[in-house]
Amino acid sequence: MTTMPAEGVGFRSKRGPVLISLMLSTGLVAIDATIVATAVPSIVHDVGGFTSFPWLFSAYLLAQAVSVPVYAKLSDVVGRKPIILIGIGLFLLGSVLCGLAWSMPALIAFRVLQGLGAGAVQPMAITIAGDIYTLTERAKVQGYLASVWAVSSVVGPTLGGVFSALGMWRGIFLVNIPLCLLAGWMLIRTFHENVQRTSHRIDYPGAGLLTASLTLIILGALEGGQAWGWTSAISVAVFTGGALLFAVFILVERKAAEPVLPAWVISRRLLATTALISFGVGAVMLGLTSYVPTFLEGALSTSPVLAGLALAALTIGWPISASQSGRFYLRLGFRKTAMIGITITVIGTAVLALTASAPSVLLVAASCFIVGLGLGLVATPSLIAAQSSVDWNERGVVTGTNLFARSIGSSIGVAVFGAVANAIFAGTPGGHTDPHTVVAASGAVFLAVLAAAVLTVVAVIAMPGSGKNRSSTDAPRASEHSPASSPD
């Protein structure tokens, strides 16, 4: 991979067209992260399945998570560009089918297809940015990529709320069509690779076992206490089956020629701790994204648009701090920056959990903004620390593993939070239609989110003070690694 010499980061630079392409691609995942949450009440009203709606997030995130490691491996075989284009194509197909869905099960199934697309788009965009920019430049690039999330944090919930209010929730998926086409066209035109073919073996058995084990574990967490009792035979069987399959997965990985999750990712302290941090970030982020709109709409009867804007505060705070995180980690180091961020996150989640009994749109929005500020100072430095500790030939796997951990954290987090909320809804006559029950259930979820944030503090503390140091301009040369690529 050829990393261009430092010549400025911006749209007018030589790499500007590639940066725009990456921003468009990131926008697909960014908008989808918030646009669905605000339309959940309308979707449930139309196709039913309130107790199953967390699967709109879990199924998407699970498909995204388990596909990321496979895409990371494939990118070493065929290059980054084909993989991201395949991802955009799958995301496009999934969006069209979601817009045509006739029931909650069908919608969940099509969300899986979207997730398979997102599993390629997000890690490849981040990996390409890590390939073509140096460590110092990446800090500046974060501002551009973070701006996508800032715009999407407003556009996504607003569009979701507007489509929901107009009784046109299907539009939240169909709006992806022009974005997918534009992103694909830009990448085809601006990003070019010269791929040196090498022999690789994709760990399909490992990927299959990982998918099966996580599916069972998440299924048990989501349906426990709802479809069956926590101590029932089926609950024990589901969790036991998931644990056994995961144990088999570990054994298979030890013998695999090129495991989907290499052992060195876990054995290196920096990579292991940053993955755990990413896991916690995913749980906190999706916990709030999934339940803040439901909380406000159910407890205060706020409009979907207003609920979406309150949630947007989280994804506005994140890019603001992420865009400035480079100044912090270049001066203070990655761990200290992450510690500042996770402290802010704990404060924000604590405020939200402690004030849930007295619902207020402004207070919820302020809490979400604080949490977003914290997450931006945690997620970005930890990811860049992991990327900067390895060479090009390991960067795809490292980036994929980090985002894989975040997706798994999101999937399991949503499942656990859904189990907590559903248990409270099931024990109350009014269920999810009773404002007092909504407040109680949401408050319990927010306490669980706070617990996830506190546990993430432990991972940040365990993070090494420094990894493999590289200068701000150090970058792999085309002769050192393959495939090689150029944005020219």
Whether omega before 41 lies within 30 degrees of 0, making that bond cis, reads: no
Does residue 220 contact residue 242 with C-beta atoms inside 8 Å? yes
- CA dist 28 → 114, 128, 184, 333 (Å): 10, 16, 11, 31
d(CA 371, CA 102): 36
245 and 261, same domain (yes or no): no
99-149 pLDDT, tens digit per residue, is 888 888 888 889 989 989 988 888 888 888 877 787 777 767 866 777 787
d(CA 488, CA 190): 7
d(CA 444, CA 295): 11
Is the residue at 8 inside a domain?
A: no
Q: What is the pTM of this model?
A: 0.77
Count up the domains in the chain and report the number: 2
Does residue 62 contact residue 214 with C-beta atoms inside 8 Å? yes
Is the residue at 366 inside a domain?
A: yes
Q: Decide which of 256, 276, 294 is a domain's last residue.
A: 256
234 and 290, same domain (yes or no): no
Q: Decide which of 215, 237, 256 is a domain's last residue.
A: 256
Is the residue at 6 inside a domain?
A: no
Classify the phi-psi angles of 285: left when phi > 0, otherwise alpha if psi is within -120 to 50, otherwise beta: alpha
261-299 pLDDT, tens digit per residue, is 777 877 889 999 999 999 999 999 888 887 888 888 888
266 and 303, same domain (yes or no): yes
389 and 445, same domain (yes or no): yes
Q: Which amino acid is at 474?
A: D
What token pair was written down for 296?
């406000």
Q: What are phi and psi of 486, to 5 degrees?
A: -145, 140
96 and 145, same domain (yes or no): yes
Does residue 334 contact residue 466 with C-beta atoms inside 8 Å? yes
- CA dist 234 → 52, 363, 417 (Å): 18, 41, 20
Query: What is the helix (H) or strand (E) element at residue 192, kind and residue range?
Result: strand 192-194
Structural domain span for residue 220:
204-256
Is the residue at 7 inside a domain?
A: no
Is the residue at 378 inside a domain?
A: yes
d(CA 423, CA 125): 39
199 and 212, same domain (yes or no): no
Is the residue at 9 inside a domain?
A: no
380 and 481, same domain (yes or no): yes
8-43 pLDDT, tens digit per residue, is 666 767 777 888 888 888 888 878 766 787 777 778
208 and 197, same domain (yes or no): no
Does residue 135 contact residue 472 with C-beta atoms inside 8 Å? yes
Does residue 28 contact residue 91 with C-beta atoms inside 8 Å? yes
Could you tell me the CATH number of the domain that includes residue 380? 1.20.1250.20
Express as a percent the part of the chain with pLDDT over 90.
22
Which letter does DSSP use for residue 484 in this model? E
**pLDDT at position 364:** 92
464 and 330, same domain (yes or no): yes
pLDDT band at 3 (very low <50, low <70, confident <90, very high): very low
391 and 316, same domain (yes or no): yes
Q: How many CA atoms lie within 13 A of 239 on its CB side?
A: 13
For residues 430 and 482, which has the higher predicted lDDT (pLDDT)? Answer: 430
d(CA 423, CA 132): 48
pLDDT band at 318 (very low <50, low <70, confident <90, very high): confident
Is the residue at 236 inside a domain?
A: yes
Q: Which amino acid is at 6?
A: A
75-93 pLDDT, tens digit per residue, is 777 778 899 999 999 999 9
d(CA 53, CA 294): 11
Residue 19's closest CA among 154, 126, 175, 167? 126
308 and 240, same domain (yes or no): no
Tell me the mean pLDDT in the region 366-390: 91
**pLDDT at position 256:** 79
61-70, 287-296, 470-479 — most confident range: 287-296
Tell me the mean pLDDT in the region 438-448: 90
Radius of gyration of the chain (CA): 21
Is the residue at 3 inside a domain?
A: no
* 3-state DSSP assignment of residue 243: helix
d(CA 403, CA 411): 12
Residue with the two structure tokens 């980036």? 399
184 and 331, same domain (yes or no): yes
d(CA 217, CA 219): 5
User: Checking DSSP bridges between strand 484-486 and strand 192-194, what pairing results, if any?
Assistant: antiparallel
